[in-house]
Chain A
């Protein structure tokens, strides 16, 4: 919110008088870090995966992930005991592997680790269960890393409706299209401290790979600090084409996972006089590592946009 307003002010100010030029900025060298992006959810087995990458110096060319391959990656299910220790069910341990999968057109995805069962029998592939805890263990280039996450109890979606139509002008294509916005209706639980993320997929994105390919709204806060226990009707500002078929996911996450994604959204657009350097709220244990093991407890509704 604050950021939005400061950008508006900045924009206006810059319009008044300022000028911009290229400028040679000399930066110090970085300390390379392992980047971990891991997910466990209760609905979409092909969306349970771990991506390993490496950070690089700022002015190195290239933007894609620098994959860390050949790592040993495992996920183990467990429960939290009354004395606040975990009981890991070693029989549930799955070893995740890199490979080609028919779900993603058999493309090569180096540095992305899946449950190999996804190819053999997707119905028996790794899947999260609400209420359970999950241990991620990684051995990469001789070093050990680990993280724990949990799947919270589900928050059911009552319905998703479309409305708030507007004309969307695409200046590049020179087209005008009527679009609608989606409103999700659900009851926030009476316990304070619940946090949600909102994702969706459309016909156009259904064959994409990964959570990075899912639609989401990064400006929408998902804590109930101010609306605890209320009945929520939340409208996102994103537009949806009329007639599109949308799968809408209401994702409950534990606070540390929410904090990570909140810091991620703050870090992703951050420049200008009001910028503060944002570091991600890491949840992975180990040296020189940044990332998050995200337990997503998902409820789904499908609809055709009207």
Chain B
């Protein structure tokens, strides 16, 4: 362990000891407030003002606080609901439930959470509710929470139709994407056009870019948490939507009236059917579709115990047939997807103790086959996780809250099994399965040091152990197997790593609704995503750390200033960060990832750093709402074997990144929204020269024979043109014909001024016509979209 780490550790232990030695009020009472809406569903993230002191309820609508005996004025506010004020005499431990009445008209506006950002000791965070997301224009009318968060400062996408999310210079595999707290390994459908999150099933999405709390771990750069909504506990409801390329249907209702409910949302695309009508010749027998099903059930056993069951299954199916020069009947078929099941038991043990226990099973599987007329190829890969997670919250006093917990995951990786036949030769191969144990424990304390200063000090300790049974083939430096192997018995340790991960956040509240925040985080990642391309592809493999692959490490310091003004209508923030990344993985150019026993031999390791400034201003209420985000940043990587060991820009280094999101209520029935984005182009490696190789001379054609090969110099030294685009959407909510039936129409226009943003560029050197010409390929011209949503 390095010296600085042990100093930080010592500091945290010291702080925790000082805090524990303090006396806790003995004359205090516990007040628990539960905030629910008119259909008994918890209202997440409500703000509760007790006399003059504001506190925040958690995502389950509960706040637990300790007060001296006395009379209190309690005001509960939440976005989209009418405020409620109650007077309460507390001379015993008390538990109350507050019913909020929804303000439907206000729900229509785009708002990123309330003044929470100024009061909450969590910096670098943004939350969006699904109602807000649904009003924004999207390509082909397909609502996607993962796409919308890339409109926030510091969160970038890889370009049009790119799957990756890049947070503060981190890689696409460094985001902890959670569905109701369960990690999702492949959050995208084909090539990242769509995420696996069906807008109908989602309640809200939150992204944490820095100051990551101790309860989260396993990824370096961010936490992207998607929460699904609970079902209606009173009556059965249907909702859904019909769009150009997909349709959705949800069913929800009570299982036991007032106590248990369910919601099931399903979605299927018909992009292949649509394309077949538009361009029957080029589509032919090829097809692609995906479906996904989200389900959730909740059961309130009693007022103190509740069970939640989350289920997700999604499958992509891709078929391609081609009569090309490799002979007739070339066919490719791939089916892949996630299956996730999670059961959570939430307990309010006493007024001071809360407890949550989760059991999770997480599967990702790919099966593909490719057939030529003389040979075929079957490939499958995947991984399976079993996780148990135990979290505790202890609130001994108003100024102190402890959190602690343990997590344990048993990973099974199936890096790939394949069989191929070429003619009547059969190749069978099985890359050895890999097994690993991952565990972590954490403790954190949330302390009001003074009325203005709040500290959250946490320590996470993580552990990873790759174990047998497996057989390692030993490779020489030229990549050839040496013929030697090492066999590891079942449970025998192959590689073991463990690290402390300190997390510290400081909040200082200034007068006039302003605050300053500071944070330091250290994160460790034990799984790497093996991918060589910008688009995620179903063959992407998650590989665990091993003897040769070291865990990724990141450290980030961030500072921010937060200010609300205009009577809470506006909120603005400035944040700056500096982040270092260690043990970053890249593949050697042209690396073979499929069925490669020696995947480690194709990897190279380096470091990275990223720094930047993020500005964010938003208007939260009124007819006109929206935000402007701006990021000035730099992200670079250094690899000994690349670019002569000199730092080079990360592919998604984006100097300037601007997004403007606006929403305007035109009247009773119409609403308009607009999104504008501008970003510096991606960094690319382009050739500087070329030469010919494999020369010959054809006596029949009297022509030389040769192949042109590109010569490369510096890495990522070329910039694509800047990306910019404007989208518009209009939502029409007609007057409901029947009381129960509600619907709306969303008309969208993507890329309004038809900007030709390059999806990729390349140089076409045509030897026959003796021309060399740069080319750009762009995906989406101006595109209209229409979606009809209903609910009854």
Hey, which bits of chain A sit against chain B, CB under 8 A? 1-2, 4-6, 8-9, 12-25, 27-33, 35, 37, 51, 53-59, 61, 63-66, 104-105, 107, 109, 112, 163-164, 166-167, 181, 183, 191-193, 195, 204-205, 207-214, 225-228, 232-235, 237, 239, 255-256, 259, 262-264, 266-268, 270-280, 290-291
Contact = CB atoms under 8 A, between A and B. Distances in A.
B482 to A, nearest CB: 8
B687 interface: yes
Contacts of B699: 104-105, 207-209
Interface string B695-737: 1111110001111111111110110000000000000000000
Contact of A205 (B535, B698, B762): B698
Contacts of B595: 1, 226
A211 B692 contact: no
Contact of A234 (B288, B320, B422, B482): B422
A28 B696 contact: no
B96 interface: no
B212 to A, nearest CB: 31
Contacts of B271: 16
Interface string B271-293: 10001000100110010100000
Given A21-B756, A25-B761, A164-B374, A64 B692 contact: yes
Contacts of A55: 689-691, 711
A20 B422 contact: no
Interface stretch (B31-39, B423-431, B547-555): B423-431
A258 to B, nearest CB: 9
A232 B779 CA distance: 44
Given A23-B758, A28-B717, A226-B427, A1 B692 contact: no
A57 B688 contact: yes
B533 A56 contact: no
A200 to B, nearest CB: 14
B774 A25 contact: yes
B597 interface: yes
A191 B697 CA distance: 37
Interface of B: 161, 190-191, 271, 275, 279, 282-283, 286, 288, 318, 320, 322, 326-328, 332, 334, 368, 370, 372-375, 377, 422-425, 427, 429, 476, 478-483, 532-535, 537, 539, 587, 589-590, 592-595, 597-598, 685-700, 704-715, 717-718, 756, 758-765, 767, 770, 772-781
Nearest to A56: B689
Given A30-B711, A105-B699, A212-B706, 6 more contacts: A12-B286, A19-B777, A210-B695, A210-B697, A268-B708, A276-B589
Contacts of A193: 476, 480-483
B427 A277 contact: no
Contacts of A15: 275, 279, 282-283
Contacts of A51: 695
A235 B421 CA distance: 9
Contacts of A214: 696
B696 A211 contact: yes
A19 B691 contact: no
A208 B710 contact: no
Nearest to A163: B423
28 contacts: A2-B537, A15-B282, A18-B778, A20-B777, A22-B773, A22-B775, A22-B776, A25-B761, A25-B763, A30-B687, A30-B713, A31-B689, A55-B689, A58-B690, A61-B770, A104-B699, A112-B695, A183-B424, A210-B705, A233-B424, A263-B589, A272-B762, A273-B534, A273-B759, A276-B532, A276-B587, A277-B685, A277-B687
